[in-house]
Structure 1
């Protein structure tokens, strides 16, 4: 048993190699993962040679821990893989993954099954390998390693969609391969033939349970995160614990796919958490996870590579031929999926077409790595399998991994260059040149002013500025208006506006000027607009912008509950969030109006800027109309929100001022902390949506109506048993002509429109509607629609007569009004 100190020393030495490999990879433009694999193979080979050589025993004590390092498959699968998967998914945009979910699932599931079958049966027919053993190997080599693929494609800088396709495949096909591996291993151990129907059911069930558990776990993390009270270390620790718990619970207790669970949890957290924590905390969390992912990915490659010399010590010519067969059949199976099945999906409009260069890159980019080696290692560790099977799986799987890393990995960059996928599109080039020209003009101006400020010789500054001017002339050579049509430039401008809107939301969140409850809604709206522009241009943007002002499902559900159950809390919370969102949207759109001439006009042209300004001003007017409807109904609440906003702005400026004084050395550390504490102790750092009073207290509403002004306190208290308070949204039909239900409605606040056949009558606070049908028994003759938010006191048909009997004065007033309205109706019909 190796001493803990020795194992720690070996791991530390490996980390030293990892650190040294990065500048080497950058210097020679090689994928870091390939360098790490090479170092691991070399490290393991040297240690094995020094231990076994008869030439000397001087290094035995030093290399024995390396050769006998207790690396088991569980180290890769339970310690390192959850970290890699979670880190790779929290920064992926889930919406963009969903755009290509069809090809991703095809590559992650169908391609794995096809590759396993192709590899397995080719070995059966060419080398007479037992079917169970051959298919087991096929499942092991069918997985593309997420660490390998993600690291290499990010390092190369492949196009966004290509990276997304390969990333999505790499993250999910491990789950498919491991599920298939488990089924085949069980069949191999039992010696019974594989039941493909039962296997397919188990396979899908593992996926489904893993996805549900991962989503539930991700949502749980999002709900618990605010309880960390903004403490960065606690937030990071929570996500690390969640990655392990979700993976292990899915794998060991739910007997589902832990990989799918962690992937779905990571996507859920990445899509939700940025709206629930401060932007600085999110950046910190991502940075920490990037470092964790780097360590885990590096150790995965180097530890797996150390095992290679031990496995390939007794490789034969027959083994080499089988490795070659696996290479060819795996490529053929992958090509069949890419060039036969993907086009069928595209023709059926289930996905956007994938271009030939993309397909060729995906074909060659199917690298294998630590997951394949870990599964092979799991076979060699199984004491119920015979030694010949273990040797076969270990040698062929390891040889195939080495081929993909050192042949495919080293040639992937040249392949991408040959296919011209590392170049910008003409549209991107035009935009890039325009941006570069504008940026360099600002730089040249700054250089001139700096030279003048520090009294540097004019000749020196002219020489420097001349270099910038030549680059400006080169960048400005292509006119963007000649390259892009007005529609294309308008689409780019709308994407820029929606993206800027999302950035402004996060900036306000960082300055604590927006309640966290409203951040999520606003970010989702901004993301929806970005996706809508990409798919439908200006029409999509306008449609998504209108949806921002609509009442969502949650609001309508709360409103529906309020209509039938006297519970105001749900509706109050939803109305408060809408108030907060509209107020913030009003501020954001005002900022966007000023952003267009400053940033967009110089890049896309004044004409496009004018169109964008018109679109934003239209959104601003609609937002202010919706906000004014709420402001008129709840002026006190609007004043509270605006006051809180200004207080937060003031506190943030005060804190920023103290930070500046400290950074300039004008105040010491202790005084700086004292000044900040004094500000923070005055109130909460993070604003919360204030509670909104719906003002549905029956007594207050009755007192506000002139028709009840003569009632004393005892009468008002008796009256309340007949009346039901209601909040009505704008556009709601209070009365419909064809509705058989009768009732009397007193308007405590707001305005309604009575739609008569020839004209419309507006009624405001103090009026009532619905009395005509109750008194005469005749059908309703008009629709009554709320023009704004209204507070109503409603009286049912059953209570109407009791009400009139108990309150004769009010009865007289109602009958008088009904007679006047009946005369108006008669005169109207005679015209």
Structure 2
């Protein structure tokens, strides 16, 4: 049998074996990678024992001969297996949440990598006396982490989602930083040249920035290609596979920048832009394809590396165990230093939300090492330019360290979780469990009685079922849930937030909203859930306040428009905001109904009333924001509303076709034809109309009572004197003590006047700033926008011209000014 045939046989059987291990890992509740390592070592030992004897064992012998024939060189590990691992991690992470937690992610990824390299290098050098640069190389190899196990634990115990984002983001970026540093240290050891202090930093910066630029460019090229493939899922998958490998090889071999960074950034760019440029089914198919590729790459790299590791570990000596112990203490000590020493600094300055010490401990202990560490160790081992003793030392120590994390840390993660009681229900969950149980029993009892009638059975049979009888008795007693009011309200808010998230996803699944809008809304809902989990009602209010405050991107777009006249960024932001507000308004009405129907029974009427008040307050805020936008962009608002109604009509029509098909009223051919026509209309309804930023001054002027009596020609004349201005929540409009150069009319929104005796709110139609102009004095108060405000600005010169031309307006303005002075 030829070598290529046995190699293919070996890979095929290996994939079967690693797949069989999945349910075993699930049953034993340990990470899959632990079993992969065990299997790989077992195969390596067995293969070594069968050397020269494979022909005697038939198919089994050919399998082990094929594993040897695969012959993947250590250097090839990175080029074959690393791109799928990196690309999948970047493609599947929640990019918006990642940017929310970027300060903490960069701390855990970039800073922690260098801390780990420095601490590991220093400790291992002190213990073993090995050259410091060799020890630093070892530190770079072991600084990469595999977050799969700890992420699974965090999700299982219901930890805030942002902790999973921290773990995923850390693994994503520390791979890039570690591999870039690994490359630099290899060059130092090969050329025996110690660079000056700045050179490694500059090299790292050049490779990192170059990799970012390359990844962005290639991702945009790939998107340009895939959007012209006519919806082909196979073509889409092929282009993205090419993107991952081209980014890595082009960066690493041709442009001499970080190929790892290029792959990660390309994946993140695709994850950011792809959902808005691809159909939902295309995007889901792409993610599924990459999950499959990642599984194959991760499984095969562990198996093949473990087989090679058996040969590497044959040269182990007792002092290697001392070195591994020192490495183990140093690596996890460095990790603890970052999480318990540096992360609190970011928490103190408000850059990240506080993290519970128990979760910090879980993240420290969950810093397992996986496929990337093994691959780097084997690359160093296979580098003929390095001295043999350096290659052996690095490969043996790194391999033993990976095995130590897999066989010590991984199996003890769950006991640690139980030690911290993260797996136990708190008093809130226990009380709610009991309440839900009773409600369910009562509901089931009523249904069983109805079923008993259908079967002609005695209703007493159902009544005698013990748990149903207990449920009836408890409900008839009218008992309330045994929890304090504040905890019930906090739980109700978490339930409503989770329900809100599901409603957004449901609308996306029904193609009522685009993936872009759905992603924005789901990210906001996740942030809301995290805040409520951390701070209860206060967290809910804070999150809503942050949601109303327009983000940095919106402010930059507004600045670009006001400074350079660039319309497109601001138009896109305004269009996004309008659509999200419209969807939020619809969801709020559903949540109000859900709260009244479900929360009252579960948590009690007083809690439902409080939750209703919170939802109603939020709904009023949404209505106010929509009103402000509709005032200035009325035509666009009407178009978007009509478009949403059209999408709903298409969804209902599609559901009717599905019903007719299930009832065999129409054939498959007819159904396909109807759905095809519907898809064309759906694509048309999904196209966002252009938003023109031209200010409709006439409409805004007419909303100000002072100008209500003007004729059409006079409105136009006044409009030529006014300039429209948009101010954001919290933005100062006028400042106390400054010279008055204009007065302002509020066309939409609310502004707060900051006075010594307290704040005064001015709403739609009000004006301010006139006193400073009339008396030629400095401003006597700060005025700040409470929400998004649409203002009409009247400069001092035009103010005097207007008052001279319109004595009636002068009289009214002076009257208001006199009242304010009084």
1: distance between equivalents of 2:409 and 2:678?
Answer: 59
User: How far apart are 1:641 and its partner, in Å?
Assistant: 3.2
| Contact 1:586/1:623 (8 A) holds in 2 | yes
2: distance between equivalents of 1:72 and 1:637?
Answer: 60
Asked if 1:115 corresponds to 2:112, the answer is no
In the alignment, what sits opposite 1:15? 15
Structure of larger gyration radius: 1
In the alignment, what sits opposite 1:71? 72
In the alignment, what sits opposite 1:814? 805
| Change beyond 3 A, Cα 1:353–1:567 | closer
2: distance between equivalents of 1:825 and 1:24?
Answer: 79
| Contact 2:107/2:343 (8 A) holds in 1 | no
| Contact 2:150/2:362 (8 A) holds in 1 | no
1: distance between equivalents of 2:154 and 2:803?
Answer: 85
| Contact 1:247/1:259 (8 A) holds in 2 | yes
| Contact 1:44/1:67 (8 A) holds in 2 | no
| Structure 1 residues without counterparts, runs of 5 or longer | 802-810
Asked if 1:612 corresponds to 2:611, the answer is yes
Superposition map of 1:157-556 within 5 A:
159=157, 167=168, 169-193=170-194, 198-200=199-201, 202-203=203-204, 206=207, 239-252=240-253, 255-260=256-261, 262-263=263-264, 283-312=284-313, 315=314, 319-337=316-334, 342-345=339-342, 348=345, 349-350=347-348, 352=354, 355=357, 359=361, 362-363=364-365, 365-406=366-407, 408-410=409-411, 412-414=413-415, 416-417=417-418, 420-435=421-436, 438=439, 442=443, 449=450, 453=454, 455=455, 462=462, 466=466, 482=482, 485-514=484-513, 518-519=517-518, 521-549=520-548
| Change beyond 3 A, Cα 1:570–1:338 | closer
1: distance between equivalents of 2:362 and 2:487?
Answer: 29
| Contact 1:725/1:793 (8 A) holds in 2 | yes
Q: TM-score, normalised by structure 2?
A: 0.76
In the alignment, what sits opposite 1:50? 50
Asked if 1:154 corresponds to 2:149, the answer is no
| Change beyond 3 A, Cα 1:104–1:600 | farther
1: distance between equivalents of 2:675 and 2:435?
Answer: 43
Give CA deviations for 1:288-345 in whole Å, capped at 9, x if unaligned: 4333322222112112122234434xx35xx231331133112321353356664434
2: distance between equivalents of 1:130 and 1:216?
Answer: 40
In the alignment, what sits opposite 1:39? 39
| Structure 2 residues without counterparts, runs of 5 or longer | none
User: How far apart are 1:654 and its partner, in Å?
Assistant: 0.6
| Contact 1:343/1:353 (8 A) holds in 2 | no
2: distance between equivalents of 1:241 and 1:69?
Answer: 23
2: distance between equivalents of 1:213 and 1:673?
Answer: 43
| Contact 2:219/2:270 (8 A) holds in 1 | yes
In the alignment, what sits opposite 2:592? 593
User: How far apart are 1:393 and its partner, in Å?
Assistant: 3.9
User: How far apart are 1:631 and its partner, in Å?
Assistant: 4.2
User: How far apart are 1:611 and its partner, in Å?
Assistant: 1.2
Structure 1 window deviating more from structure 2 (218-227 vs 41-50): it is 218-227
| Contact 2:157/2:423 (8 A) holds in 1 | yes
2: distance between equivalents of 1:795 and 1:402?
Answer: 73
| Contact 2:733/2:784 (8 A) holds in 1 | yes
| Contact 1:120/1:131 (8 A) holds in 2 | yes
2: distance between equivalents of 1:476 and 1:385?
Answer: 80
Q: 3-state SS of the aligned residue for 1:690?
A: coil
User: How far apart are 1:613 and its partner, in Å?
Assistant: 0.8
In the alignment, what sits opposite 1:805? none
2: distance between equivalents of 1:207 and 1:567?
Answer: 31
User: How far apart are 1:239 and its partner, in Å?
Assistant: 5.0
Q: 3-state SS of the aligned residue for 1:593?
A: helix
| Contact 2:6/2:63 (8 A) holds in 1 | no
| Contact 1:48/1:63 (8 A) holds in 2 | no
| Contact 2:138/2:398 (8 A) holds in 1 | yes
Superposition map of 1:699-714 within 5 A:
none
In the alignment, what sits opposite 1:654? 653
Give CA deviations for 1:35-61 in whole Å, capped at 9, x if unaligned: 222222333333343332499597776
User: How far apart are 1:16 and its partner, in Å?
Assistant: 1.6
| Contact 2:625/2:788 (8 A) holds in 1 | no
User: How far apart are 1:561 and its partner, in Å?
Assistant: 6.2
2: distance between equivalents of 1:109 and 1:788?
Answer: 44
Structure 1 window deviating more from structure 2 (6-15 vs 332-341): it is 332-341
User: How far apart are 1:214 and its partner, in Å?
Assistant: 5.8
Cα RMSD, aligned residues only: 5.6
User: How far apart are 1:251 and its partner, in Å?
Assistant: 3.8
Give CA deviations for 1:647-677 in whole Å, capped at 9, x if unaligned: 2211110111101222333322101011222
Structure 1 window deviating more from structure 2 (233-242 vs 7-16): it is 233-242
| Contact 2:149/2:410 (8 A) holds in 1 | no
Q: 3-state SS of the aligned residue for 2:686?
A: coil
Structure 1 window deviating more from structure 2 (186-195 vs 547-556): it is 547-556
2: distance between equivalents of 1:655 and 1:638?
Answer: 26
| Change beyond 3 A, Cα 1:556–1:153 | closer
1: distance between equivalents of 2:409 and 2:221?
Answer: 40
| Contact 2:585/2:623 (8 A) holds in 1 | yes
| Contact 2:439/2:471 (8 A) holds in 1 | no
| Change beyond 3 A, Cα 1:237–1:493 | farther
| Contact 2:106/2:170 (8 A) holds in 1 | no
Q: TM-score, normalised by structure 1?
A: 0.76
2: distance between equivalents of 1:219 and 1:490?
Answer: 46
Structure 1 window deviating more from structure 2 (189-198 vs 115-124): it is 189-198
Q: 3-state SS of the aligned residue for 1:307?
A: helix
| Contact 1:696/1:726 (8 A) holds in 2 | no
Structure 1 window deviating more from structure 2 (499-508 vs 631-640): it is 631-640
Q: 3-state SS of the aligned residue for 1:513?
A: coil
| Change beyond 3 A, Cα 1:609–1:111 | farther
2: distance between equivalents of 1:102 and 1:472?
Answer: 55
Structure 1 window deviating more from structure 2 (634-643 vs 69-78): it is 634-643
| Contact 1:136/1:181 (8 A) holds in 2 | yes
